[in-house]
Structure 1
Amino acid sequence: MKKFIYAVVIALVITGCASTTNSGAVGVNRSQMMLVSAAEMDKGAAMAYTKILRESSAKKALNVDPVQTKRVQKIAKNLINHVDVFRSDARNWNWQINVIKSDEANAWCMPGGRMAVYTGIINKLKLTDAELAAIVGHEMSHALREHSREKASRDQLKNVGIFAVGIATGSNEIANLANMAATYAILLPFSREQETEADNIGTELMARAGYNPNSAINVWKKMSALNSKQPLEFMSTHPSHSSRIANLTKIAQKLNPIYLAAKKN
């Protein structure tokens, strides 16, 4: 029986491994294990996102500053224009970009391009447009790489049979799907490997959109300074400040020709 179970697990891992994006200039080409279906994650994300927007609206915290909202949405649109470098289907996603009034220095992007930027991260870091592009691009990259789905798949493999049954046959399947999407996209931390991928892809997106990639370095320097005064949940599982800045410095240098070409156009 054990041999049979091991064989099933190995088969699941092999058949579920793929890369969700093209490598781009930054060279992100890691194979990912995807056992949870994209349709499940997308359905759950749509429901969870609607719930969050409804609750934020009820608290009068949704897009309360039209100028700030327009700014965030314009920057996001500029980045979305270049997502097909990493995956051809993403340009046609139903991208939704909203701003939530909150002191929390945070931002996130659910599967399918459902994103929220908190006013806390904009105001506390005093973000320039290019620095805001780095934040938005980073979060968009989590969705492009389907990191939430990857995390859910890893947990499913750890709990073979239990996780899948709880999602697929629970008495409240709709609630389970929404909870799964919200949990893996917002509540649970991404791995350092996933964070680095999001840094790299996000920085390429901003460079292609004509934002100076060196501004991504500035963001994490500001994050480091703010985090030293008040630990941020946003930073709790991210790579160390020094390693992140060192990596972004190399990535920015690599992307500088792309940025300069974009500025000419």
Structure 2
Amino acid sequence: MTSHHTCLCCQRRPLLQGLTLLLLSPGLALAQDGAREGVEVGGNSVFSRLVPADTIEQSAAQQYAEMLQQAAAQKALGGKNHPQVRRLRAIAQRIIPHAMGWNPRAKNWRWEVNLIGSQQINAFCMPGGKIAFYSGILDKLKLTDDEVATVMGHEIAHALREHARARMGKNAATGIGANLLSNVLGLGQLGQTVTSYGAQLLTLQFSRSDESDADLVGMELAARAGFDPRAGVTLWQKMAAASKGAPPQWLSTHPSGDTRIADIQANLPKVMPLYARSQVK
């Protein structure tokens, strides 16, 4: 749910201490006929192949660390024993083990979950698993755990689907033009372009297609983790009420709330069995 790279995140704001989460590696469940269960969104964008994932993830980690330092200086970090920090990290620990089914790189990400002291209705997950929630989205919308999981799943989906990497690849390809093919193998000019775009991770805008993609993948992640995917409907109803006719800043390029709710409802039959199975476990 965001248009500025870090989905529900639009601007740089203070964070808190990081936490590395241990990951398990469950495969994606298959139906009896061998078909994959869950939503259908296709593969990651081909543009993501134009830039090295390591470069973007390293850049994200550096920016994330800087945000932590800025937050500490402003005394705006939630401590590890803060109730909302503990809540966010507990929810993340349930969702993250299901990430590898969407992107094998996630197994080696140094995941972190942080709380940002800001009244903005916002959240994000940077490449490499750097998650942060703004206190405003929790306080103003009074999110249930299922709704928090819906937001978190959406943000994680952006990272797993490498939307930022794909956007940078597209921008790099456009900027390089005729020199792309001659330089791509050695990453000469391309590498420099990626570096320059890496500095803009927090302002990179996602497309409406990216947002819709993240809605569905995030809904599935939440369902597999045992959170009710129907929470996506109540979440967007709360978002609409909070906007009061003026949508939050990050909604500028997002699908409308009605469209998102309709898409979520249309895909519920694909993920409700996963949720039901998680409840049995």
Scaled by the length of structure 1, the TM-score of the pair is: 0.82
The match for 1:104 is 120
Check 1:31–1:79 CA distance in 2 against 1; reply closer, same or farther (3 A cut).
closer
Q: 1:53 aligns with which of 53, 58, 68?
A: 68
Pick from 224, 233, 236: which aligns with 2:252? Answer: 236
Which of 170, 175, 200 is the matching residue for 1:183? 200
**Cα distance between partner residues in 1 of 2:199 and 2:122:** 15
Query: What SS is found at the alignment partner of 1:97?
Result: strand
Query: What runs of 5+ residues in structure 2 fail to find an aligned partner?
Result: 1-27, 29-35, 181-186
Note if contact 1:131-1:219 (Cα within 8 Å) is conserved in structure 2: yes
Call closer, same or farther: CA 1:149–1:54 in 2, change over 3 Å: same
Note if contact 2:44-2:161 (Cα within 8 Å) is conserved in structure 1: no
Deviation of 1:200 after TM superposition, in Å, equals 0.6
Quote the residue 2:231 is aligned against: 215
CA contact (8 A) 2:71 2:77 kept: yes
Q: Secondary structure of the equivalent of 2:133?
A: strand
Aligned equivalents of 1:228, 1:189: Cα separation in 2: 23
Contact 2:121 / 2:248 at 8 angstroms: preserved in 1? yes
Once the two structures are superposed, what CA deviation does each residue of 1:36-74 show, in whole Å capped at 9, x if it has no partner?
Answer: 211210111111111111101111111157111010111
SS of equivalent residue, structure 1 residue 160? helix
One-letter amino acid of the structure 1 residue matched with residue 75 of structure 2: K
Could you say what secondary structure the match of 2:51 adopts? coil
TM-score of the two chains, using structure 2 as the length reference: 0.78
Cα 1:91–1:24, aligned 2, differ >3 Å: closer, same or farther? farther
CA RMSD in angstroms comes to 2.3
| Structure 1 unaligned blocks of 5 or more | 1-21, 171-175
Number of positions where the alignment pairs a residue of Structure 1 with one of Structure 2: 237
2: CA distance, partners of 1:165 / 1:141: 30
Say whether the 8 Å CA contact 2:38–2:274 is kept in structure 1. no
Q: Which amino acid aligns with 1:156?
A: A
SS in structure 2 at match of 1:211: coil
Residue 130 of structure 1 pairs with residue 146 of structure 2: yes
Q: Which residue in 2 is equivalent to 1:27?
A: 40
Deviation at 1:228, TM superposition (A): 2.6
Deviations 1:149-168 (A, max 9, x none): 11111111221169987774
Indicate which of 80, 83, 102 corresponds to 1:67.
83
Q: Could you tell me how far 1:169 is from its partner in structure 2? A: 4.8
Alpha-carbon separation, structure 2, partners of 1:145 and 1:118? 22
CA spacing shift, 1:208–1:169, aligned 2, 3 Å: closer
| Residue 222 of structure 2 corresponds to residue 206 of structure 1 | yes
Counterpart of 1:121 in structure 2 is: 137
Distance 1:207 1:182, change over 3 A: farther
Measured after TM superposition, the shift of residue 91 of structure 1 is 3.0
* Alignment-mate amino acid for residue 270 of structure 2: K
Go from structure 1 to structure 2 and tell me whether the alpha carbon gap of 1:59 and 1:148 turns closer, same or farther (over 3 Å shift): same
1:189-240 Cα shifts (integer Å, max 9, x gaps): 2101110111011100110111110001111111111123543112121111
Deviation digits for residues 123-149 of structure 1 (CA, Å, limit 9, x no counterpart): 111100000000011000000011001
Higher relative contact order (CA 8 A, sep 6+): 2
Letter in 2 for 1:88: P
CA distance in 1, matches of 2:219, 2:268: 7
The one-letter amino acid of 1:109's match is C
